[in-house]
Amino acid sequence: MPNNNKIILGLLAFAIVFSAPHASQAQETSTTQQPAQTVTVEKAPQAPKAPIVIEADNLSFSDETGDIRAEGNVVITNQGQRVEAELVNGNAKLSEIWINDKARFSQPDSNLTGHHTLYNYKLKTGSMEGAKGKIGRKYVAGDIINIYPEQYVIDHGSTTNCPAKVPDYHVSADKIEIWPGDQMIAYNAKFWIGNKVIFSLPRYRQSLDKNEESSFPRVGYDSDQGFYIKQHIDYPLNDKLSAYANLDYYSKADFKPSFGLIQRESNFSVGVAQGDFLDDDDNWIKKEPEFKLAYHPRRLGTLPVSYSFTAIYGKWKDDYKASWHQEYELYFSRDPIKLSDTMNLYLGTGIEHIRESYNNSAQNIYKFDATLTKKWSERFNTWVGYHYTQNNVTLFAYDSDDLNRELNSGFTYKIDKMNTIGVTRSYDLDQKRVEDLDYTWYRNLHCWQATITYQSKEERIKFDISTTRW
């Protein structure tokens, strides 16, 4: 058996604990080689507040200098952080470790592998050379990855959503700053498909929200709009303010760009947008321009309820009319009600107020939503939902609710790791008829995803290829 040693660097003391070792495996060192007992040393002023546990086959510790040497299957844990290596040197008084050879560093938002690792447990800062791994949903690599309490900085590195050893697409940059779960900013960014650079930007920003649009081009086909190619570009003016553009071209509708500015704060965002916009029902609108304030969802006291608020003011224009449009919406969402391990109920309600200068109208729209989901297996999911919208007839069809009372249901079935099928059915409870019946096939194309939807009621086909969102 190996000599399995453990060091615990605690809040009040450094404690060295050994499991019962074989005497033949004891080693001599110039520092204090710990016997099978616990030794308590007075805490240095710089000691970290949470315990650091070091485990290894063999280790030594000097209570005079604080020097630590751990060798063989070394594992260091502290507050969700974990370091694995074969040889680690460090100093307990400085709360530092350094590793020349290969090491693995992981915490809840990252998993990195590299060498020449330096980390300070007190300051929560460190660095790794020749590092690669995953930060949030991003696969990353770089000459040096610097670790900070809430941020990672990659020098001369790359990032992608593609998990392949040789990714289909990636972004390379001189410097990449990543705030996990928030945003990424890349400097002198180059966008690659395969081994070809398709375009570059001096600065590039991407939200790390899972629903955010990728800046890699997406292509597709729509029966109503024809073939299209779309590209979203977000250029940071500082760490919160960005200029963006959506460069969309349709073979039937021609070039339909939109652009704007957005300031993203921790609790809200505010922005201005101008250009052409298309909703899911193929309704076009031109904004000339539109100002928008959006408060992010926040808790309602101690209740299991969150609320969000949006306010919109701007000039809307379609083929027949133009109006100064005002829209205010307050919406409440209840935390999912867990009916079983595989069944959840989602509830929401809200009110929307719309005013139009075109006809001097003002209307209040009340909403209620209830959706029940059931996961039958890892492959098969179903849902059924009831959606009520009172007074839903608005001046513009863009982004408006089609039905007053809707019963929505559907399922997805994963055939294999490459193919998934889904069916969605919308039923008009007032007219007692099927409003929409859509069939969708999702095909995994390595690091891209193809989606083909047939909308049977409209006899319409939609086809889209975009980068995979992980």
The whole-angstrom separation of Cα 404 and Cα 395 is 16
Give me 93's structure tokens: 């008084």
Q: How many residues does the chain have?
A: 470
For residue 19, what are its two tokens? 């499991």
Identify whether the C-beta of residue 297 lies closer than 8 Å to the C-beta of residue 286.
no
Answer whether residue 460 is part of any domain. Answer: yes
Quick one: pLDDT band at residue 35, thresholds 50, 70, 90? very low
CB 348 within 8 A of CB 331: yes
Nearest to 69 by CA among 89, 85, 52, 84: 89
Lowest-pLDDT choice from 11-15, 25-29, 161-165, 243-247 = 11-15
Q: Which of 54, 77, 97 is the last residue of a domain?
A: 97
Q: What is the pLDDT of residue 413?
A: 98
| CATH code of the domain in which 226 resides | 2.40.160.50
Residue 106 is assigned to a structural domain of this protein? no
Residue 239: per-residue pLDDT? 81
pLDDT band at 152 (very low <50, low <70, confident <90, very high): very high
Within a domain: 166: no
The predicted pLDDT at position 9 comes to 56
Q: Tell me what the mean pLDDT of segment 394-415 comes to.
A: 94
Q: Name the band, by pLDDT with cuts 50, 70 and 90, for residue 211.
A: low
Query: Same domain for 293 and 422?
Result: yes
**Model pTM?**
0.77
Residue 289 counted as domain residue: yes
Report d(CA 252, CA 97) in Å as an integer: 62
Average pLDDT for 413-438: 96
Band the pLDDT of 165: cuts 50, 70, 90: confident
Task: Tell me: cis bond preceding 202? Omega within 30 of 0 counts.
Answer: no
Q: In whole angstroms, give the CA distance from residue 392 to residue 396.
A: 11
Tokens of 266: 């921790």
Residues 364 and 227 in one domain: yes
What band does 2 get if pLDDT is binned at 50, 70 and 90? very low
Quick: pLDDT tens for 336-391. 999 999 999 999 999 999 999 999 999 999 999 999 999 999 999 999 999 999 98
**Residue 454 clears pLDDT 90, i.e. is over it:** yes
Flag whether pLDDT at 133 surpasses 80. yes
Residues 275 and 420 in one domain: yes
Residues 427 and 295 in one domain: yes
Please, which residues have CB within 8 angstroms of residue 230's CB and are 6 or more apart in sequence? 217, 218, 219, 220, 246, 247, 248, 249
Closest listed residue to residue 234, CA positions, set 267, 207, 200: 207
Lowest mean pLDDT among 9-23, 127-141, 148-162: 9-23
Considering the domain architecture, whether residues 88 and 216 belong to the same structural domain is answered as no
Running DSSP on this structure, what letter comes out for residue 283?
Answer: -
Out of 49, 76, 97, a domain closes at: 97
* pLDDT in the model for residue 447: 85
Last-in-domain residue among 52, 71, 97 = 97
pLDDT at 196 over 50: yes
Question: Tokens at residue 316, please?
Answer: 């809307």
CA atoms within 13 A on the CB side of 128: 25
Q: Is the pLDDT of residue 71 over 80?
A: yes
Domain that holds residue 359: 211-467
**Domain count of the fold of the chain:** 2
Residue 203 domain flag:
no
Nearest C-alpha neighbor of 444 from the set 159, 162, 133, 192: 162
Q: Which of 447, 424, 420 is nearest to 434 (CA)?
A: 424
Alpha carbon 294 to chain centroid, angstroms:
19
pLDDT of 307 > 50? The answer is yes
Q: Is 172 within the bounds of a domain?
A: no
The bridge status of strand 52-56 relative to strand 5-9 is antiparallel
Whether 15 is in a domain gets the answer yes
Beta bridge partners of 367: 350, 389
Identify the pLDDT of residue 31. Answer: 43
Is 304 within the bounds of a domain? Answer: yes
